[in-house]
Structure 1
Amino acid sequence: MKLKQLTSAVILATTGMSATAATYTLTPTPAQDLSFANYAQSIDNSGTLVINTSVEYNPPIDLSLFDFENELFTAQFEDPDAVEQGVFSNVDYNILYSYVLQVRQSSILGQKLETLRSYQTDMVGLDLIPGFDVYSEDFDDYSRSSLSLIRDSLNGDFFVGTGNGAFFELDYTNEDGTDYTFIINALPKQAIVQVNGEAKFLPASTTEPLGGFGEAFAINNQLQVAGYSSTVFSDDYITAAENCDDDEERGDIPVEVCQYNLISNETTLNSVAQTRATIWELDTQGDVVNTQTYGMVFTPEEDDSSRFVYYSKANDINDQGIAVGESSTGEAVVYTIPGGNAGRYQGVVATAFMDGEVVELLPRDENLQSSANAINNDGWVVGNVRRENNGVAREQMFAYNIESGESIYPDGFFATSAVNPRAINNNGIIVGEGEYDASVQTDRQLRAFMYDINVGEFIDLNTLLPCDQQEQYTLVTANDINDDNEIIANAMYLSPQVYVNGEEVLDNAGNTNDVTRVIAVKLTPTGAQNVEDCDASNEDNYERKGASLPLSGLLTLGVFALFRRCVRRAK
């Protein structure tokens, strides 16, 4: 990553009340002081919010891993001697951090520094959810090497998501007498739970070889966790793992490095393992007392060359133990995406996992693809269907009731608007985001929405804010809603450009440059019975505060990699 790219990343980087009768007030979460960009994840019925930070200010740098005798390396800095002593100018700090990110992606000899971290907050305090990260005496802080991506919480006590083992240094002298210090870990991504400050792995259905892998997405009041895990590995992968224990087959590297090379490539893992929807049942200490693995809506043949491409996963689970998500169909579909050419895609359908059965929810002949994102305790499932409209396949929202079989397909902000519902509460209120600008065909702007199944109204959440907040912020996504109708969302607003240490960037005249910032916010119902009438037009307001990001802009920021229960896992 070049300096310009790094800088850009840092910079960018009443229950039962009708939705139309509730106005909201917006409050930024405390995470905005930690990083320039931070993203909404979930909010539970205790009011606990989970947020994820991206590229936190003042990242720790391990200078012992850099070669300051390399002139090509030191020539990048304004003052290389000061850098070697740990004294950084704003520009040099950015360059150094950029270098760390490059090495992190490409080498097992450099510092591993995760760019994402998860926190819980009650809007007063802010507490790190470290997962399996370890404390570093050199940094006087956590090493930030271990992934801990939390996606859901229960009563502010249980937190579930994805994590891996912390990285460690392994010294090795090869046959030529050259010394190396490898920085590796020993376990791929795993479903995790953190309770009472202690993190625990939720074991995959198949843990051999090398530990298996999985992810967790949601937890219900019965302490059931929904996600997916590995079940069967390919013969080639098993052989490769066995070869790591063979001195001749392994080559001149440590056993641990050979194993790390197998588990660290997520793309490789997804192509060598069958993954299936998994439900873990926990006790009050967070220990697993039962694991149930579900199949798919079809059973592939043993000689099917795509059997390691097919998958199922559970994105959410209600208090009755009904999980919802998606499953491969074994078929292929062909369609054209907005702004693109026709492509051939894997068939995927919205699925329920209940009572040991895998149930397809929607008529397959009506949709190209579908996926279920969330379910409430009344059996209402919300998700996406991909349907063709004017020759282009767009995402549309659906709501389906498992008990009655009723299904609805609400329009978004306009007839061909792509809509992504992220959550539904037990009051029947859905939140998410939809394309807002009908005047363009691709990269349409996004706005956060609310849809009340009981009323049937699709509402721009921005219009429910006080006028002064509408002037300042644009709500682009709504990620979750609890049963008090409190919402956690992402908002954009203009803020001065900053360096990686959080200090403002000044031009030669000492002026700042305002850029668009994305932060997690809480929306709280005010109890007002009428929506405030703002004199200024919405278009003028949004233009002054930077306008809404198109979908591609949010992808650039990495928002959708973090959002809860919505990203279809490509295998």
Structure 2
Amino acid sequence: MKFKLEKTLSLVAVGVLSVLQGVQAAPVYEIKNLDADTFNLNGTIANTRNGYGMSVNNNDEAVGAAKGKKKLTVDENDDGVIDIEDGVSDAETITYSVNLPILANNFTFTSIKNDANTPWLPTFESVNGTTAPTFPEEDTVNSVDTFYYGINDAKLKVGAMTATEQQLAYSGSSTTQEFWYYREYEQRGFVKDDTDTEIALIPPYFEYVSEQDDGDVTVNIGGFSSATAVNNANMITGYASTDISASSESIIDSCVSNNSETAPTDICVQNRQFVNTYGYSDIQYQTRGYVWRYENGAITEAKILPLGLEPKNDSVYTSQGLGINTAGVVAGRSYVYRNGNSDKLYFDAAYWTEASDGSYEYNWVDVDTVKDVRSSIAYDINDNGILIGSYNKYIEGYTRDKFFYIDTSDANAEVVTPNDLYNSLSDLSSRGRSINNNGQVVGYIETTHDKEKPRPKAGFLYDIDKEEFSNLNDLLTCKSKGFEKDAETDKWVRHQVEVEDGSGKTLTYSSEIVIVEANSINDSGTIVGTAFIRKPSYEFDIDGNIVIGENGLPFFLLDGYGNPFTSFLPRMMVIQTDGTEASDEWKAANNCIDESGESEDYVRQGAASLGWLLMLPLVWLRRRRK
């Protein structure tokens, strides 16, 4: 497969080329959760910083996840709490410890077109007893992190959560610590219906029996599971733990035998299950994909998705279900020996079909036709059997992901890698995340050819029948990009946002909105995902608190010209089309490309996707307690 490598281009040049070459008849889209007056993107729940749109059904009902509570500052003059939008420092990955309370920083929300107050307004929804994020941080009762991943047309929602915090009386050497902190499990899938009936998907393996000299000891190690997608037949796919590795058994045996010498068994096990800075836990589970059926408020069956190989040793092997169509065909990935060669162990895209006896059969997605693929993954499959995903390989000396699709209904079909932004194959990494029954695919693609720097990303739309690959930002109306018509010149200019700082001075900055990832598309073409919106950067003191003026308002970081520094924040976006196509006349009239080009903030923020949350294991992000 030949890749045509283009020279490095600016974001503006990429936009121009893709408009000229890639959207001859593509639809025009509009961001629907954009405030018409303030140009603010209503893309997260109150008191959170980041929002991500994860899935949308055919009734224009979406689910998402929010991350990051606002940082509070207390006014020392009147002891009042100041609520400042987006007034938080950058998100931190905390060091987990059994010696500190567990604080939640991830929340679930719904967003629907027919919202009684504001269309598509993100609305907090409780899972596992969580309450909406509030001020101040010290009053927060949440210790549960929650995520929504999917929703079907009957409003059945699926996702993953942690257990609630538990406390155990401290008996160590510290004279100030009162409790140890732990939880029963680190990750568990769940399903929630429209009547608020909520069911946890308990994995088949969650207890370990430790053989000790004075008798066997059963230890609740929690196990883990995740629900990643749900179809309209109320079939749910995901993955769950079925066993642990031999090394993990030794760790737990040691925790039991040393009970109370260093810490109680539950605390010792918890400490070894917390993820490290690399996102891994010392206790490793065997993982298999699963399909659960939900009926009348209960899980009525659970079926395993087998590996693509017969294990030859006690190493950890994994299969995962990530997408499911109406017929129950599952898309995902599994370890496999390519072409039966035990010397070629890979983690590859796969799909599973039901056999005549009701069990699931494994099918490998043959990526060997692409040559030199290091790994691959399938994210979704539509009712016509078109499966989408991405593979990873070296291109020009660098590892890149490339979006692919394959027709699983054709026994002779091969993996297809579509032409992308330049109407040719390039070295731009891309991933397809969702496909509807009309053959429209959405995902993300890189937009520059820098070799050594992080590359900014943009959401894409690909139409399989028309073979059209479009940068979604090129299909947006000018207003959806942050532009407005100048009454005097009749030209499109960026909307100027006005903010007052702590000295009472009014500052302005230019509005800007960029779609960076599309995660889901329904059959009518509604797309949800993530967009960056430009916001001013606040000034913090050495303790990490926002600097507040006498008027109770924050100070902003300013450049040498007295203008506020800005940065991009991720927010859920919802875009829809009225059926209008992007004709040449429309493109000429919609000439609102920002000639200032790409910003450095956009480059640094290029990896704001929540797609990693579908992977194993989850790395839970929480705000550090001051």
- The TM-score bracket by the shorter chain reads 0.7 to 0.9
1:116 is aligned to 2:106: yes
Q: How far off is 1:202 after superposition?
A: 0.5
- 1:466 counterpart letter in structure 2: T
The more displaced of 213-222 and 196-205 is 196-205
Compared CA separation, residues 496 and 135, structure 1 to 2 (3 A): closer
Paired residues of 2:456 and 2:606 also in contact (CA < 8 A): no
- 1:374 counterpart letter in structure 2: D
1:479 is aligned to 2:519: yes
What does residue 418 of structure 2 align with?
A: 410
What does residue 395 of structure 2 align with?
A: 389
The more displaced of 534-543 and 211-220 is 534-543
1:517 is aligned to 2:569: yes
Compared CA separation, residues 404 and 441, structure 1 to 2 (3 A): farther
1:362 is aligned to 2:366: yes
1:442-461 CA-to-partner distances (Å, cap 9, x unmatched) read 52332211111111111121
What does residue 267 of structure 2 align with?
A: 257
- 2:349 counterpart letter in structure 1: A
What does residue 187 of structure 1 align with?
A: 185
SS of match in other structure, 1:23: strand
1:38 is aligned to 2:51: yes
Q: What is the distance in 2 between the residues matched to 1:143 and 1:346?
A: 45
Match of 2:321 among 311, 314, 338: 314
Q: What is the distance in 1 between the residues matched to 2:618 and 2:337?
A: 14
Q: How far off is 1:497 after superposition?
A: 2.5
SS of match in other structure, 1:105: coil
Match of 1:528 among 580, 588, 601: 580
What TM-score do you get using the length of structure 1 for normalisation? 0.78
What does residue 506 of structure 2 align with?
A: none
Match of 2:27 among 6, 22, 27: 22
- Select the structure that is richer in helix: 1
What does residue 127 of structure 1 align with?
A: 123
Q: What is the distance in 2 between the residues matched to 1:192 and 1:504?
A: 40
Compared CA separation, residues 507 and 358, structure 1 to 2 (3 A): closer
Compared CA separation, residues 94 and 169, structure 1 to 2 (3 A): farther
What does residue 38 of structure 2 align with?
A: none
Compared CA separation, residues 177 and 24, structure 1 to 2 (3 A): closer
- 1:275 counterpart letter in structure 2: T
- 2:141 counterpart letter in structure 1: S
Q: What is the distance in 1 between the residues matched to 2:407 and 2:266?
A: 49
What does residue 293 of structure 2 align with?
A: 281
Paired residues of 1:36 and 1:517 also in contact (CA < 8 A): yes
SS of match in other structure, 1:463: helix
- 2:161 counterpart letter in structure 1: G
What does residue 9 of structure 1 align with?
A: none
- 1:205 counterpart letter in structure 2: P
Q: What is the distance in 1 between the residues matched to 2:154 and 2:71?
A: 28
SS of match in other structure, 2:271: helix
1:197 is aligned to 2:196: yes
Root mean square deviation, CA, Å: 3.9
Paired residues of 1:476 and 1:549 also in contact (CA < 8 A): no
Compared CA separation, residues 53 and 524, structure 1 to 2 (3 A): same
Q: How far off is 1:238 after superposition?
A: 3.4
1:561 is aligned to 2:616: no
Number of residue pairs matched by the alignment = 507
Q: What is the distance in 2 between the residues matched to 1:38 and 1:542?
A: 27
Q: What is the distance in 1 between the residues matched to 2:474 and 2:87?
A: 39
Q: What is the distance in 2 between the residues matched to 1:371 and 1:561?
A: 12
SS of match in other structure, 1:526: strand
Q: How far off is 1:30 after superposition?
A: 3.5
Query: 1:44-443 residue pairs with structure 2 within 5 A?
Result: 44-57=57-70, 105-123=95-113, 124=115, 125-134=121-130, 143-155=141-153, 157-174=155-172, 180-195=178-193, 196-209=195-208, 210-241=221-252, 244-246=255-257, 248-265=258-275, 269=281, 272-285=284-297, 287-302=298-313, 307-308=315-316, 310-329=317-336, 347-355=346-354, 356-364=360-368, 366-367=370-371, 368=373, 369-405=375-411, 406-407=413-414, 408-414=416-422, 415-416=425-426, 417-438=428-449, 442-443=453-454
What does residue 72 of structure 1 align with?
A: none
Paired residues of 2:273 and 2:283 also in contact (CA < 8 A): no
Compared CA separation, residues 498 and 519, structure 1 to 2 (3 A): farther
Paired residues of 2:244 and 2:286 also in contact (CA < 8 A): yes
Q: What is the distance in 1 between the residues matched to 2:318 and 2:100?
A: 34
SS of match in other structure, 2:480: helix
Compared CA separation, residues 87 and 109, structure 1 to 2 (3 A): farther
Q: What is the distance in 2 between the residues matched to 1:175 and 1:570?
A: 32
1:31-82 CA-to-partner distances (Å, cap 9, x unmatched) read 44623321221111121111222213357xxxxxxxxxxxxxxxxx999xx6
- 2:612 counterpart letter in structure 1: A
SS of match in other structure, 1:528: strand
Paired residues of 2:54 and 2:149 also in contact (CA < 8 A): yes
Q: What is the distance in 1 between the residues matched to 2:167 and 2:282?
A: 27
What TM-score do you get using the length of structure 2 for normalisation? 0.71
Q: How far off is 1:26 after superposition?
A: 0.7
- 1:314 counterpart letter in structure 2: G
Compared CA separation, residues 234 and 489, structure 1 to 2 (3 A): closer
Q: How far off is 1:538 after superposition?
A: 6.3
Point out where structure 1 has 5 or more consecutive residues left out of the alignment.
1-17, 60-76, 332-344
Q: What is the distance in 2 between the residues matched to 1:427 and 1:536?
A: 27
- Percent identical pairs in the alignment equals 19
Point out where structure 2 has 5 or more consecutive residues left out of the alignment.
1-22, 34-40, 116-120, 209-220, 339-343, 355-359, 484-511, 540-544, 620-626
What does residue 5 of structure 1 align with?
A: none
1:341-384 CA-to-partner distances (Å, cap 9, x unmatched) read xxxx9722110112221110224353412211111111000011
Q: What is the distance in 2 between the residues matched to 1:39 and 1:438?
A: 26
What does residue 7 of structure 1 align with?
A: none
Q: What is the distance in 1 between the residues matched to 2:283 and 2:337?
A: 16
Q: What is the distance in 1 between the residues matched to 2:110 and 2:183?
A: 26
Q: What is the distance in 2 between the residues matched to 1:440 and 1:179?
A: 50
- 1:522 counterpart letter in structure 2: V
Q: What is the distance in 1 between the residues matched to 2:174 and 2:537?
A: 49
SS of match in other structure, 2:366: coil
Compared CA separation, residues 323 and 86, structure 1 to 2 (3 A): farther
Q: How far off is 1:386 after superposition?
A: 2.3
